């Protein structure tokens, strides 16, 4: 089972031995790999993996962001969006291999620092373009369309208000409130 | 009280499908005192059960059984196993539909005469005219509560409509309003008026939008002459030595095969399932499937020339608030070959929620070009293009050579190639839609490809001559007197208009014909 857990405030300081420190291009947040988990000390969440290597998961989170980059969407939602691959991998060795090999291939193409070591989004996207036709990429991108955008928690970030029946629809809540025309 | 009929009762009319065609026909016959069994493949969900959530609602109501696709249409690439967005539930696609209810134009009933022969198209005139249909259109509008008819006011315009209207004015379009919608603009028929919830595609939880689920079906049941049997998937129609149909074999809720005997069978499973069922009912007497002496069963599949245009503005729109499709421009619906194609198209407001927008804006798209569009979701406006497409023999439903469903019935393959006329029309509509939004200050526009087909038509078409089609002007098959087709698969050609009002009108008309034939004992 993959669990995404919110960490308590007193745990926020990463008193963990950092096996690896990951720098992400752009916002500069840190993802830390510790034991079987990917941890975001800044944002107080962590993700334990069951089948995939935590390093693989961390890279997968970066790949997800590079496929559907929304700078205003925190990593946590990308982590939730890809955790299904870990769950599937735990049940299906072929899927595990697909993801592990796909990520290893990206790391290899990226050179000594690996995929996450590439500082610019453009550099990483160039690698993704190379593998765009592969079943690995198709599986990751295809799943994300639903697993990222169907999270109710991200909807407000995009200004989508979701369910409206319980609030009586929009008849008294701005269905025709446009003013700039 | 809803009736319950014995499987051996061979006096009943058996209708397959409870959507726009089947649900209406069932009620109309029941009102005349004729006993009807509707076999419906899907479950029964009442409108309180609907959910304001795109994927959850799709999972609840849509037809998800596997289909395959072929041909050069983009849907085959983007959604190879989901050629159509159709419902499998009591009420059929009238649960998900948006409610746009337009009459065909006179020339559209005479496509061959109006357009002349078009190379690579199998055009034909309908065996009915607008004049013959008018009184039935009026009955359908009255039944469905269509706004802008019978003194019912049109719906108020939402934000998405206001943007459309501003653009229409800038381009000089004359006929732009909030449409003729089968949605209550005032309380009537014991149903609410529209509360501008914005989830019309997910089933109207207020019951404001007409659906056979909570209008025709309960009214029919109240007569004691109608039984709707949910979770009952028709697999084969049986016939006797004389060639008359005698009953329908279906898989019940437990997957067990049953046969319901019948005096008359009416097929209304929508344009993929209806021909699939007729083809699967082959026998030694009818080796190419039932009612298929013309060879036209499954052919001439039409899906309307569609596409969408979305636009981003520097200020907010919130297009998803309010009625999804209450907004239309009709000026391009005329036949005017100087535009480079025959037939015409409508432009209608359309909005998708964020989850569906991500799936449908540019299927397969990724990277910043894609995501910066979604970043401005609340600044988007959108319209849908719906135009007449060309019937072609090659565009067809066939039984898959080796894949079968859980009941052992071959699954359907949907083949579609765009005709040059379809492409020319779509390109014209894209450029008009993009110009419209640019005129109101759009900073970016998106010519969005067609979604899985919501309008599925033509696969058992009406024809004057038995050699040209499957059914006559009453939807009665040319080959078998007591076998009818009652859904959109009867359409000879598609017109530019959303099809459901015409489907309902044909069903009302067909009920009159069936009742007359039954009392005359000719069937
Ligand atoms: C999202 C969406 C929006 C739409 N908006 C509009 C609109 O605004 N205006 C408009 O005119 N049209 C609209 N449509 C199209 C409209 O819904 C259809 O044209 C109409 O419902 C078709 O009627 P029908 O009777 O042919 O089939 P349906 O209404 O699809 O009914 C067919 C029924 O038959 C059942 N069935 C199929 N095969 C079998 C079988 N073998 N055994 C038993 N049951 C079976 C199905 O489960 C289904 O319930 C929309 C459709 C969708 C999906
Ligand atoms: S907008 Fe109106 S018709 Fe559409 S779902 Fe809401 S109440 Fe029903």
What ipTM was assigned to the predicted interfaces of this complex?
0.93
**What is the Å distance from ligand 1's center to B62 Cα?**
10
Mean pLDDT of B498-519: 98
How far does CA B44 lie from the centroid of its chain? 19
Atom of ligand 2 nearest to the CA of B196: 1
Q: Whose CA is nearest to atom 3 of ligand 2?
A: B209
CB atoms within 10 A of CB B521: 6
Q: Whose CA is nearest to atom 2 of ligand 2?
A: B194
Look at residue A24 in the predicted model and tell me its pLDDT: 37
Q: Which residue of B has its CA nearest to A180?
A: B315
Alpha carbon distances (Å) from A149 to A82, B64, B335, B356, B471: 12, 21, 41, 9, 45
Q: Please, is B429 exposed, middle or buried when counting C-beta atoms within 10 Å of its C-beta (0-12, 13-18, 19+)?
A: buried
Phi then psi for residue B380, to 5 deg, are -95, 150
Is the CB of residue B38 less than 8 Å away from at least one CB of chain A? Answer: no
Mean pLDDT of B153-170: 98
Residues in chain A with CB shorter than 8 Å from the CB of B361 are none
Is the CB of residue B206 less than 8 Å away from at least one CB of chain A? Answer: yes
Beta-carbon contacts of residue B402 (< 8 Å; ≥ 6 apart):
none
Strand locations in chain A (E): 3-6, 20-23, 30-34, 37-40, 45-48
CB atoms within 10 A of CB B448: 25
In a domain, residue A177? The reply is no
**What do you get for the CA distance between the two ends of chain A, in Å?**
51
In a domain, residue B77? The reply is yes
Q: CA-to-CA distance for A36 and A48, rounded, in angstroms? A: 6
What are the tens digits of pLDDT across the range B398-425?
999 999 999 999 999 999 999 999 999 9
In a domain, residue A162? The reply is no
Is the CB of residue B13 less than 8 Å away from at least one CB of chain A? Answer: no
- Contact assessment for residue B90 and residue B45, using Cβ atoms and an 8 Å cutoff: yes
In a domain, residue A138? The reply is yes
pLDDT classification of A44: cutoffs 50, 70, 90: confident
Closest CB to A149 among B159, B315, B355: B355
B52 lines ligand 2 (CB under 6 A): no
Taking an 8 Å cut-off on Cβ atoms, the answer to whether B197 and A169 are in contact is yes
Residues 315-354 of B with CB under 8 A from A: 315-318, 320-322, 353-354
Domain limits for position B99: 13-519
Mean pLDDT of B498-502: 98
Atom of ligand 1 nearest to the CA of B99: 8
Contacts A–B by Cβ distance under 8 A:
111
Question: How many domains would you assign to chain B?
Answer: 1
Q: CA-to-CA distance for B19 and B451, rounded, in angstroms? A: 21
Look at residue A69 in the predicted model and tell me its pLDDT: 98
Domain limits for position A142: 3-155
CB atoms within 10 A of CB A102: 22
Mean pLDDT of B83-97: 97
Mean pLDDT of A95-122: 97
Closest CB to B368 among A69, A145, A146: A69
- Contact assessment for residue B251 and residue B244, using Cβ atoms and an 8 Å cutoff: no
Q: What is the DSSP letter of A137?
A: H
Whether pTM > 0.90 for this model: the answer is yes
- Contact assessment for residue B89 and residue B458, using Cβ atoms and an 8 Å cutoff: no
Q: Measure the CA angle with vertex B424, ends B421 and B429; round to 5°.
A: 125
Q: CA-to-CA distance for B414 and B403, rounded, in angstroms? A: 14
To which H or E segment does residue B345 belong?
A: strand B345-349
Closest CB to B374 among A158, A169, A180: A158
Look at residue B386 in the predicted model and tell me its pLDDT: 98
| Sheet containing B257-261: order of strands | B233-239, B245-251, B257-261
Look at residue A3 in the predicted model and tell me its pLDDT: 54
Taking an 8 Å cut-off on Cβ atoms, the answer to whether A146 and B156 are in contact is no
Q: What is the mean pLDDT of chain B?
A: 98
Between strands B176-177 and B444-448, the pairing is unpaired
Q: CA-to-CA distance for A146 and B53, rounded, in angstroms? A: 13
Strand partners, B396: B415
Question: How many domains would you assign to chain A?
Answer: 1
What are the tens digits of pLDDT across the range B292-349?
999 999 999 999 999 999 999 999 999 999 999 999 999 999 999 999 999 999 999 9
Alpha carbon distances (Å) from B332 to A54, B107, B173, B385: 57, 14, 9, 10
B361 lines ligand 2 (CB under 6 A): no
In a domain, residue A172? The reply is no
Taking an 8 Å cut-off on Cβ atoms, the answer to whether B316 and A178 are in contact is yes
Q: Which ligand is nearest to the CA of B204?
A: 2
Mutation site, B199, B366, B369, B372, interface A, largest A CB count within 10 A: B366
- Contact assessment for residue B198 and residue B322, using Cβ atoms and an 8 Å cutoff: yes
Nearest to B79 by CA among B447, B364, B395: B364
For residue B146, the number of C-alpha atoms closer than 13 Å in the C-beta half-sphere is 21
- Pull the structure tokens for residue B237: 């129609």
| Proportion of chain A above pLDDT 70, given as a percent | 83
Mean pLDDT of B427-456: 98
Closest CB to A170 among B198, B359, B364: B198
Look at residue A29 in the predicted model and tell me its pLDDT: 53
Strand partners, B477: B471
In a domain, residue A180? The reply is no
Mean pLDDT of B230-248: 98
Residue B188 in this model has a pLDDT that exceeds 90: yes
Residues in chain B with CB shorter than 8 Å from the CB of A175 are 156, 158-159, 196, 198, 321-322
Task: Say whether B267 sits in a helix, a strand or coil.
Answer: strand
**What is the Å distance from ligand 2's center to B194 Cα?**
5
pLDDT classification of A43: cutoffs 50, 70, 90: confident
Phi-psi region of B85 (alpha: psi -120 to 50; beta: other; left: phi over 0): beta
Q: What is the DSSP letter of B476?
A: B
Mean pLDDT of B81-108: 98
- Pull the structure tokens for residue B17: 């499908």
- Picking from A35-44, A95-104, B203-212, B460-469, which range would have the lowest pLDDT averaged per residue? A35-44
Atom of ligand 1 nearest to the CA of B85: 53
Length of chain A: 181
pLDDT classification of A47: cutoffs 50, 70, 90: confident
Q: Whose CA is nearest to atom 4 of ligand 2?
A: B200
Look at residue B373 in the predicted model and tell me its pLDDT: 97
Taking an 8 Å cut-off on Cβ atoms, the answer to whether A70 and B318 are in contact is no
How far does CA B104 lie from the centroid of its chain? 14
Q: CA-to-CA distance for A4 and A48, rounded, in angstroms? A: 7
Q: Which residue of A has its CA nearest to B50?
A: A165
Residues in chain A with CB shorter than 8 Å from the CB of B206 are 165, 169
Beta-carbon contacts of residue B168 (< 8 Å; ≥ 6 apart):
B176, B329, B331, B436
Q: CA-to-CA distance for B21 and B26, rounded, in angstroms? A: 9
| Proportion of chain B above pLDDT 90, given as a percent | 100
pLDDT classification of A5: cutoffs 50, 70, 90: low
Look at residue A32 in the predicted model and tell me its pLDDT: 84
In a domain, residue B162? The reply is yes
Q: Measure the CA angle with vertex B31, ends B30 and B36; round to 5°.
A: 5
| Proportion of chain B above pLDDT 70, given as a percent | 100
Alpha carbon distances (Å) from B366 to A66, A68, A118, B361: 9, 6, 19, 11
* Dihedral over Cα of B58, B59, B61, B67: its sign: positive
Taking an 8 Å cut-off on Cβ atoms, the answer to whether A161 and B320 are in contact is yes
Distance from A129 to chain B by nearest Cα, in Å?
10
């Amino acid at each position: 089972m993959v669990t995404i857990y919110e960490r308590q405030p007193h745990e926020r300081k990463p008193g963990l031995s950092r096996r690896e420190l990951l720098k992400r291009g752009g916002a500069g947040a840190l993802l830390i790999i510790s034991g079987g988990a990917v941890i975001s000390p800044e944002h107080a969440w962590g993700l334990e993996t069951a089948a995939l290597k935590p390093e693989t998961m961390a890279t997968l989170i970066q790949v997800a962001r590079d496929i559907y980059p929304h700078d205003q969407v925190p990593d946590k939602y990308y982590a939730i969006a890809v955790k299904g691959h870990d769950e599937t991998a735990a049940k299906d060795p072929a899927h595990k291999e697909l993801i592990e090999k796909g990520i290893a291939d990206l790391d290899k193409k990226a050179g000594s620092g690996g995929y996450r070591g590439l500082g610019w989004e453009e550099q990483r996207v160039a690698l993704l373009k190379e593998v765009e036709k592969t079943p690995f990429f198709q599986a990751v991108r295809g799943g994300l369309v639903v697993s990222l955008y169907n999270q109710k928690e991200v909807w407000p970030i995009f200004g989508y208000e979701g369910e409206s029946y319980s609030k009586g629809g929009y008849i008294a809540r701005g269905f025709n409130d446009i003013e700039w025309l | 009280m809803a009736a319950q009929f014995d499987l051996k009762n061979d006096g009943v009319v058996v209708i397959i499908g409870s959507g726009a065609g089947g649900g209406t026909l069932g009620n109309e016959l029941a009102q005349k005192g004729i006993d009807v069994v509707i076999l419906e493949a899907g479950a029964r969900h009442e409108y309180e059960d609907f959910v304001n959530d795109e994927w959850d609602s799709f999972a609840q109501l849509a037809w998800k059984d596997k289909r395959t696709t072929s041909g050069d249409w983009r849907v085959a690439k983007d959604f190879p196993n989901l050629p159509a967005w159709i419902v499998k539930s009591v009420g059929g696609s009238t649960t998900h539909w948006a409610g746009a209810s337009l009459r065909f134009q006179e020339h559209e009933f005479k496509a061959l005469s109006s357009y002349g022969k078009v190379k690579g198209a199998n055009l034909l005139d309908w065996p009915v005219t607008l004049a013959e249909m008018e009184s039935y259109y009026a009955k359908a509008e009255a039944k469905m509560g269509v706004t802008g008819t019978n003194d019912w006011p049109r719906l108020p315009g939402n934000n998405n409509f206001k943007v459309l209207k501003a653009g229409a004015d800038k381009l000089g379009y004359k006929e732009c309003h909030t449409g003729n919608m089968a949605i209550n603009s005032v309380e009537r028929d014991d149903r609410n008026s529209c509360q501008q919830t914005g989830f019309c595609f997910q089933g109207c939880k207020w019951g404001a939008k007409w659906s056979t689920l909570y209008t025709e079906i309960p009214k029919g049941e109240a007569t004691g002459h109608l039984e709707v049997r949910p979770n009952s998937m028709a697999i084969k129609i049986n016939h006797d030595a004389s060639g008359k149909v005698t009953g329908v074999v279906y898989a019940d809720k437990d997957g067990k095969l049953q046969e319901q005997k019948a005096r008359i069978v009416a097929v209304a499973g929508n344009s993929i399932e209806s021909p699939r069922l007729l083809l699967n009912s082959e026998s030694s007497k009818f080796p190419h499937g039932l009612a298929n002496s013309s060879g036209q069963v499954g052919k001439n599949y039409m899906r309307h020339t569609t596409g969408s245009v979305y636009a981003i503005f520097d200020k907010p729109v919130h297009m998803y608030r309010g009625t999804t499709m209450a907004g239309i421009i009709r000026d391009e619906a005329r036949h005017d070959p100087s535009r480079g194609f025959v037939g015409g198209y409508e432009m209608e407001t359309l909005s998708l929620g964020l989850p569906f927008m991500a799936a449908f804006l540019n299927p397969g798209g990724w990277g910043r070009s894609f995501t910066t569009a979604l970043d401005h979701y609340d600044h988007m406006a959108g319209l849908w293009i719906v135009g007449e497409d060309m019937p072609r023999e090659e565009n067809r439903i066939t039984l898959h050579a080796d894949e079968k469903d859980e009941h052992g019935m071959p699954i359907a393959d949907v083949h579609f190639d765009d005709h040059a006329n379809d492409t020319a029309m779509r390109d014209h509509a894209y450029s008009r839609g993009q110009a419209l939004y640019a005129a109101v200050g759009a900073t970016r526009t998106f010519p969005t490809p067609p979604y899985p087909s919501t309008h599925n038509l033509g696969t058992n078409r009406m024809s004057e001559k038995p050699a040209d089609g499957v059914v006559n002007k009453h939807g009665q098959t040319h080959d078998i007197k007591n076998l009818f087709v009652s859904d959109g698969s009867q359409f000879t050609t598609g017109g530019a208009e959303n099809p459901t009002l015409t489907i309902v009108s044909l069903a009302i008309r067909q009920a009159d014909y069936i009742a007359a034939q039954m009392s005359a004992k000719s069937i």
